[in-house]
Structure 1
Amino acid sequence: MFQSNDMSLIIDAKEVDNECFVQVFHRLDKKSLLNCTLACHRFHELISNDAFWVEHARIQNISNVLPSLPWRRAAIQKNFKTNQNEEIETSNFNFNLKRMVLSRRGYSTIFPCLTTHFENTGSDIFRGVVRTDDFSIRASADGIQMERNGGVGCQPHPAVSKCFAYSFSASAMTVFIDLVNSGIDEWVLDYVRPKIRVSQKVNHRHDCSATLTFGAQLNYHETQWIREFGLRQIAENTDNKRYKSINKEWDQWTEDQWEDEVIEFDDYPSGMRHLTIMNEGKDGLFWKGFYGPKIANIQVQVILPEVPTIKSAVTDTERCNEDNVPEDENEPIRVYRLPIRRRRHMWAVPPAVAREEDDQE
Structure 2
Amino acid sequence: PAPGMESLPEAVLIRILASIPAVDLVLVCRLVCCQWKNLVDGAALWILKCQQEGFTRAESDAENWQNFYFLSKKRKNLIKNPCGEEDLEHWGEVENGGDGWKIEELPGDFGKEFPSEEVHKYFVTSYEWCRKAQVIDLKAEGYWEELMDTTQPKIMVRDWYAGRSDAGCLYELCVKLLSENEDVLAEYKSETVTIPQDNDANWTEISHTFSNYGPGVRFVRFEHGGQDTLFWKGWYGVRVTNSSVTVGP
The counterpart of 2:225, out of the listed 274, 280, 294, is 280
Deviation (angstroms), 1:70? 3.7
1:265 aligns with 2:210: yes
What residue in structure 1 maps to residue 24 of structure 2?
49
Unaligned runs of 5+ in 1: 1-45, 54-67, 74-79, 83-92, 121-131, 226-240, 305-361
1:303 aligns with 2:248: yes
1:146 aligns with 2:96: no
State which structure, 1 or 2, has the greater radius of gyration over its C-alpha atoms.
Answer: 1
CA separation of 1:196 and 1:71: change in aligned 2, threshold 3 A: farther
Q: Find the aligned partners of 1:71 and 1:194 in 2 and give their Cα distance.
A: 21
Deviation (angstroms), 1:158? 4.5
CA separation of 1:181 and 1:251: change in aligned 2, threshold 3 A: same
1:164 aligns with 2:126: no
What residue in structure 2 maps to residue 201 of structure 1?
160
Contact 1:203 1:258 in 2 (8 A): yes
CA separation of 1:94 and 1:205: change in aligned 2, threshold 3 A: closer
1:118 aligns with 2:87: yes
What residue in structure 2 maps to residue 348 of structure 1?
none
Q: Is the partner of 2:235 in helix, strand or coil?
A: coil
Larger RCO, structures 1/2 (Cα 8 Å, 6+ apart): 2
Q: Find the aligned partners of 2:156 and 2:96 in 1 and give their Cα distance.
A: 26
> In structure 1, what residue type is equivalent to 2:234?
G
Deviation (angstroms), 1:197? 0.4
Q: Report matched runs for 1:91-110 at 5 Å.
A: 106-110=74-78
Q: Is the partner of 1:49 in helix, strand or coil?
A: helix
Q: Report matched runs for 1:336-351 at 5 Å.
A: none
What residue in structure 2 maps to residue 294 of structure 1?
239
Contact 2:79 2:134 in 1 (8 A): no
Contact 1:210 1:282 in 2 (8 A): yes
Task: After superposition, give the CA deviation of every residue in 1:320-357 in whole Å (9 maximum; x if it has no partner).
Answer: xxxxxxxxxxxxxxxxxxxxxxxxxxxxxxxxxxxxxx
> In structure 2, what residue type is equivalent to 1:49?
D
Deviation (angstroms), 1:201? 1.1
Contact 2:159 2:241 in 1 (8 A): yes
The counterpart of 1:69, out of the listed 31, 46, 61, is 46
> In structure 1, what residue type is equivalent to 2:193?
K
Task: After superposition, give the CA deviation of every residue in 1:10-63 in whole Å (9 maximum; x if it has no partner).
Answer: xxxxxxxxxxxxxxxxxxxxxxxxxxxxxxxxxxxx9x734899xxxxxxxxxx
1:255 aligns with 2:200: yes
> In structure 1, what residue type is equivalent to 2:188?
K
Q: Percent identity?
A: 22
Q: Is the partner of 1:280 in helix, strand or coil?
A: strand
Q: Is the partner of 1:182 in helix, strand or coil?
A: coil
> In structure 1, what residue type is equivalent to 2:110?
G
Q: Find the aligned partners of 2:241 and 2:181 in 1 and give their Cα distance.
A: 23
Q: Find the aligned partners of 1:222 and 1:197 in 2 and give their Cα distance.
A: 22
CA separation of 1:154 and 1:244: change in aligned 2, threshold 3 A: same
Contact 1:197 1:262 in 2 (8 A): yes
Deviation (angstroms), 1:255? 1.4
Task: After superposition, give the CA deviation of every residue in 1:80-117 in whole Å (9 maximum; x if it has no partner).
Answer: 849xxxxxxxxxx989x7xx9xxxx9322334225355
Give the root-mean-square deviation of aligned CA atoms: 3.7
What residue in structure 1 maps to residue 189 of structure 2?
245
Deviation (angstroms), 1:249? 0.9
Deviation (angstroms), 1:69? 3.4
Aligned length: 198
What residue in structure 2 maps to residue 188 of structure 1?
147
The counterpart of 2:112, out of the listed 155, 162, 173, is 155
Q: Find the aligned partners of 1:167 and 1:140 in 2 and give their Cα distance.
A: 7
> In structure 1, what residue type is equivalent to 2:133?
T
Q: Is the partner of 2:146 in helix, strand or coil?
A: helix
Q: Find the aligned partners of 1:258 and 1:274 in 2 and give their Cα distance.
A: 28
